[in-house]
Structure 1
């Protein structure tokens, strides 16, 4: 019975590790919150599909990446780096903003593949 538990654990670790490897293979883009309330870049172009968006808060205040049409939000403390994974198939322009500083806005432009 013990060997069955070990085999199941090994299988789950192997499958879980494969999922992590796939996440690392995603196209990756970076969006930085700058001191003074701006995004860099303010306009980010990406191909349609699934990708990882790394969020970097270089400011001394908390920020929140939020996009209503993308249904994504992420709060970052001062100096924190995190990420969101986005999957979108429709080309178009998708606005985002810092919910704590609502004048700070940007646009994610999704292009055809």
Structure 2
């Protein structure tokens, strides 16, 4: 009986894995005050993920006050931020540790 429950639980999680694999994903590299992209265009009204990579030798922080998201990264660390669907518009983000590193997420 226990085996059936495990199999049932595994089968129920398959749609979640498939949905995560289909989620649009964008990569942002941060390197001591420089951003690989200062403009990231994403589909509006669609859940998406930004993979954030700190290629620099100092800490970096992806932050968006408008979206209430932040992610602090030590040097050499990779992580991600998942966004629920955004209404069409522009949403600013920046690197808290390097004030000149600023960008915008554009939901179309």
Off by >3 Å, runs of 4+ in structure 1: none
1:79 aligns with 2:48: no
Aligned to 1:65: 62
Deviations 1:30-87 (A, max 9, x none): 111023x021111111111111111111111121111111121111121111111112
TM-aligned CA deviation for residue 16 of structure 1: 2.6
Moved more, 82-91 or 11-20: 11-20
TM-score, reference length from structure 2:
0.86
Q: CA RMSD in A?
A: 1.6
Larger % of strand: which?
Answer: 1
* Unaligned stretches of 5+ residues in structure 1: none
SS in 2 for 1:107: strand
Aligned to 2:40: 44
TM-score, reference length from structure 1:
0.83
Aligned to 2:20: 23
Structure label with greater radius of gyration: 1
